[in-house]
Structure 1
Amino acid sequence: MWEFIVQYWAEWAFGLLGTAIIAVAIKYKALLNGVLAILHDRIYQACQHYIQQGYIDASGLKNLEYLYRSYHTLGGNGTGTELYNRAKALPIHDN
């Protein structure tokens, strides 16, 4: 029995290591997707507010740019990009 374990220990070790790496990669992907969803929600909420208001202030625009940069880097596009571009085109009014 021990001879069998000693003979195949490297295969077992690499098998366990491979399984652990796959598990970490799946968790990492889920975490990135969650962050992307939260960023999309924040961009959506902020853009809806500014679009309904009809203008944006400089600090709001800076905040949107900061959110969008991370959102885009993580692969977000589509509705988030469209809303960001609409909000960015609004007149800037500082209170």
Structure 2
Amino acid sequence: MKATHFKIGDKDFEEAIENETDPSAKIVHQMNQTINNRGISFFVKNSQVSSSTVNNFVKRAKSKKIPILQVRETIPNNTTYLKWMTENYQNLANIAKKLK
């Protein structure tokens, strides 16, 4: 995300998710407040990970008209690395265009 000049909205939440730990109640509350206040431009969801907390954030973000960027950690079957990455960047570019 740094290369695209977008900032991570909640570093504590990001760290908990990346470390595959449950975010604390405080972090969940902060993230809910951030989403409620439309304090993020878009929400990144890893489609290969299932979490009720993240699913609730996605529902909340959608209700606030915040775009969701779906990503994966691994290359999908029957595609090339270039096609996969191009699709990811195109999805991000589409969201960025709508933010202007």
Structure with higher Rg: it is: 1
Task: Give the TM-score category using the shorter length.
Answer: 0.3 to 0.5
After TM superposition, the score normalised by the length of structure 2 is 0.32
Structure number having the greater helix percentage: 1
